[in-house]
Amino acid sequence: MSLIVQKFGGTSMGNVERIRQVASRVISEKNNNNDVIVVVSAMSGETNRLLNLALEIGGTHNNLATDMVISTGEQVSAGLLSIALNNEGYKAVPMLAHQVKIKTDGTYGNARIFSIDAENIKKQLENNNIVVVAGFQGIDDYGCITTLGRGGSDTTAVAIAAALNAERCDIFTDVEGVYTSDPSIVPEARRLDVVYFDEMIEMSSLGAKVLQIRSVEFAMKYKVNLFVKSTFVDGPGTQIKFSSKEDSMEELQVSSVACDKDEAKLSIRGIPDKPGIAAAIFSSIADAGLVVDMIIQNISVEGLTDLTFTVTKKDLKKALEITQNMAIKLNAKEVLSDDKIAKISVIGVGMRNHFGTASTMFSALSKENINIMMISTSEIKISCIVELKYAELATRILHETFNLGINNKL
């Protein structure tokens, strides 16, 4: 008998009919003579509805009371799925964070898990129960409910799989796995059988919203055997695993192309170039809670330099305010901003063993006269900022250039 953790997202829990479908997927795993722990998200739209109630009355995103409100969606889901399982003749028990003892820090709205006490879950499993855990929630030192941030149920599932040393953690969602690119942009995109942890982390941070990035980091740290599968279609899904030496012999140079239209860029031009300028600018932006993605500083010409960086679109207004104040203080010439941009990234652990991925990428874009405005690279990723209007074209071109399409399947 193995222990399997399954996680179902909001779309899978969308209505009574779908919850019944989820129940039958859980049951078929149970019937394989496995112990099953299920982690559930709120019914789709429910977390937003609850958050809006809290905001309407004057709440903030990161607040004890807001967390108490928005965590109820998962509680409802856990109860409903347990009922659906009971009705099919299976013993099932819903459990909340205070019962599973998912201890977190006190960062409401974005808490981090310290520990999980597996004993209570084990007792329920020993009584032949399917355990249904409300995802997204933990408790702090005072027993107050905390939430783990958007997509937090993924992290709940992975953390429980780690704490109980599960055979497998299956993240069920509305797609059939991880794809080489967004199929709505690239019709030839195909499901990957395997994605490596490093790649998955880059993808998660690049707007490929299959898994919460923290859940991937967690799985990597605790060596959880992780899969992404479809709730609605049977199939092998995508396995997320460590790359081994054998793998690296045959791996692709690039395994996926991501397109992120959610960034905007700001430039401060003509800054008198003195040490500490970048530090001054970016620490005031960080103090405001804004996250900067790409940064480019031009070489200094006649004692003046330019600084360009990107933030998410929703943070643009706030970032612009801060940057304009800094520009005045630093005696810079002007501040420019542009939210008509897209970030196109190619990702693959195979880059480590192939030379020239960057130049292949740049030539492919240049052949289509797509101008590259910013570049950033990591060991297994290259990202380019291009004009927004080229977002889809650039994605398709690169998908083809690196032979990722259905017809190129190995």
Enumerate binding residues for a second copy (CB under 8 A): 16, 19-20, 50, 53-54, 56-59, 63-69, 71-72, 75-76, 78-80, 82-84, 86-87, 92-94, 96, 98-99, 120, 142-145
Q: In the chain, what is the straight-line distance between the N-terminal and C-terminal CA atoms, in Å?
A: 35
The neighbour count for residue 369, using CB atoms within 10 Å, is: 7
Minimum CB separation of residue 186 from a second copy in Å reads 38
Residues 6 or more apart whose Cβ sits within 8 Å of residue 248:
349, 350, 352, 353
**116 phi, psi to nearest 5 deg:** -130, 130
Beta carbon nearer to a second copy, 17 or 287: 17
Q: Which two tokens stand for residue 218?
A: 């967690």
The closest of 228, 196, 197 to 211, measured between CA atoms, is 228
For residues 15 and 363, which CB has a smaller minimum distance to a second copy in the complex?
15
Nearest to a second copy of 116, 271 (CB atom): 116
- The nearest distance, CB 256 to a second copy, in angstroms, is 38
Of 66 and 155, CB closest to a second copy: 66
Q: Which is nearer to a second copy, 101 or 168 (CB)?
A: 101
To the nearest whole angstrom, how small is the minimum distance from the Cβ of residue 144 to a second copy? 7
Nearest-approach distance from CB 131 to a second copy, in angstroms: 12
Beta carbon of residue 54, minimum distance to a second copy (angstroms, whole number): 6
- Residue 163 vs 264, nearer CB to a second copy: 163
- What is the C-alpha separation between 79 and 95, in angstroms, rounded? 9
Least gap, CB of 96 to a second copy (angstroms) = 7
313-320 long-range contacts (CB < 8 A, ≥24 apart) are: 313/262, 313/263, 313/264, 313/339, 315/290, 315/291, 316/264, 316/266, 318/288, 318/290, 319/266, 319/285, 319/288, 319/290, 320/266
209 vs 73, 173, 178, 203, CA distance in Å?
20, 11, 10, 8
Given the complex with a second copy, which of 22 and 257 has the nearer CB atom? 22
Q: How far is the CB of 209 from a second copy (least distance, A)?
A: 26
Question: What's the rounded Cα separation, in Å, for the pair 350 and 354?
Answer: 6
Contact yes or no for 162/224 (Cβ under 8 A): yes
By C-beta, is 75 or 345 nearer to a second copy? 75
Residue type, 93: V
Nearer to a second copy, 98 or 261 (CB): 98
Q: How far is the CB of 87 from a second copy (least distance, A)?
A: 4
Identity of the residue, 147 or 360, whose beta carbon is nearer to a second copy in the bound complex = 147
State the minimum distance, in angstroms, from the CB of residue 110 to a second copy: 17
In whole angstroms, what is the distance from residue 347 CA to residue 206 CA?
A: 10
| In the complex, least distance from residue 170 CB atom to a second copy, rounded to whole angstroms | 22
